[in-house]
Amino acid sequence: MTMAPLIWQTARFAIDLAQPRVMGIVNVTPDSFSDGGAHASTAAALQHCEQLLKEGADMLDIGGESTRPGSPAVPLDAELARVLPVVREAVKLNVPLSVDTYKPEVMRAVLELGADVVNDVWALRQPGAREAVAAHPSCGICLMHMHRDPQTMQTAPMQGDVVPEVLSFWAQQVAQLRLLKVDPSRITLDPGIGFGKTVAQNFALLARQRELLDAGYPLLLGWSRKSSIGTVSGIPAAAERLVPSVMAAVLAVDRGAAIVRVHDVRDTVAALAVWRAMKTEEPHPGRRASNDQQQEQTS
């Protein structure tokens, strides 16, 4: 299987994925499950963008529609009114800018403003979405696996072995993009933690995440403050799940994630610095064998 490329090509940036990257979440919504609409206004959202960059975010992900379980769909005009003013100003920050949307009209509008990535929970399955990104010469794309839709996904979660199901889904969606001549360097994949899956299935995706690398594309993981973390940690309030969220992000990176999408940027960046230091100092297998042999010779 082809190794995941080290460069993620996006509209304005070729992002080096040799080291894991942190994507900071900016919810421009009044009903976000995690931050209760704290950044719903344009001014508040832009201030939050700047704060996340100060905390060490490598890129930003702006969303104007909540996709929490049971959330209602947002009309096109409302999403455009929320997202476009933020994107128009945020592109001036000169960092990779992702927009979380499944509507092709929003995709085209934000790409025209200079956004770099389309991050779609529907994996471009809405009519016209594939064509919207394929028409752009280089925008980055994130294809996420979701079972059913946000309104019903947790009322009837998927059944069976989640890993081959996700891999099969990705293969189908990537094949559709390749038919439209989309370069593979533009594609990343997200297994969709919490999107139509049981708690056990979500953690199976983490435990067996290295199997997902067989898809041959960089992985983007979004564990931050998810309900599965609340279930296993016993922390009901999403905003209080910082420690287990950071733990999940580090575990995801250790299992090969190229990008982690998080609310708590400062703490995730700090934790990954510890992980990176450990990886830097980890003995090389050849060196360890040599040391073992030396001990045998001197014993």
Q: Which residues are catalytic?
A: 226, 261
Tell me the three-class secondary structure of the chain, residue by residue.
CCCCCCEEECCCCEEECCCCEEEEEEECCCCCCCCCCCCCCHHHHHHHHHHHHHCCCCEEEEECCCCCCCCCCCCHHHHHHHHHHHHHHHHHHCCCEEEECCCHHHHHHHHHHCCCEEEECCCCCCCCHHHHHHCCCCCEEEEECCCCCCCCCCCCCCCCCHHHHHHHHHHHHHHHHHHCCCCHHHEEEECCCCCCCCHHHHHHHHHCHHHHHHHCCCEEECCCCCHHHHHHHCCCCHHHCHHHHHHHHHHHHHCCCCEEEECCHHHHHHHHHHHHHHHHHCCCHHHHHHHHHHHHHHC
Beta bridge partners of 23: 59, 261
Sheet holding 140-144, edge to edge: 187-190, 140-144, 117-120, 97-100, 59-63, 21-27, 259-262, 220-221
Return d(Cα 23, Cα 116) in angstroms, integer: 13
